Amino acid sequence: MLHAVSLGLVLYGTWLLFSGIYTPLLMGLGAVSCLAVVGIAHRMDVVDREGHPIHLGWRALTYWMWLAVEIVKANIDVARRILDPKMPIDPVVVTVKASQGSELGQVIYANSITLTPGTVSIRINDNAILVHAIATELAEDIQSGAMDRRVTAMEGAGPPPSEDAR
């Protein structure tokens, strides 16, 4: 229920910000369509911790700040390799551990790896992610587990994957 209310509020907030026309008719239409979307989402059974992860809260914001800095650093590293006439690359494929408790956490981790230039997630099996990296140093950064720990910390005490799979 909490998730449904929160989803409805977020949708209506988005409607108001995107529309920019505040007449009773349009605001009423917006309310009706938001209710319809919440209803459909509820029937699809996607209004839960996974589909609308409000439990991440502010921790997600601090994680994004950290991730943004990592993305900028990785961008500069890969850009340097592209611009270097020698093009010094050393592609490797490594397996890294994903210690998150839920599938949502693993998706966040895998997407964070892909979002950081120089490393791309290829496949997720159980608790391991197969990663292609453009250089050994970038693979070692991921293998050090700093990002893994941060995602796990952000996710907090999430339920184990078995509980998520209905």
Q: Which of 123, 137, 153, 160 binds another protein (CB under 8 A)?
A: 123
CB of 102 vs another protein, minimal distance in Å: 18
Residues 6 or more apart from 87 whose CB is under 8 A from it? 81
Nearest Cα residue to 100 out of 138, 152, 50, 60: 152
Stretch that binds another protein, among 48-56, 111-119, 146-154, 155-163 (CB under 8 A): 111-119
User: CA 108, 14, 166, 159 torsion: positive or negative?
Assistant: positive
Nearest Cα residue to 160 out of 96, 110, 99: 99
Stretch that binds another protein, among 4-12, 28-36, 112-120, 146-154 (CB under 8 A): 112-120
Q: Copy the structure tokens of residue 69.
A: 């800095």
Stretch that binds another protein, among 1-9, 13-21, 44-52, 95-103 (CB under 8 A): 13-21
Q: Under the criterion CB under 8 A, does residue 95 sit at the interface with another protein? A: no
Q: Which of 1, 17, 65, 157 binds another protein (CB under 8 A)?
A: 17
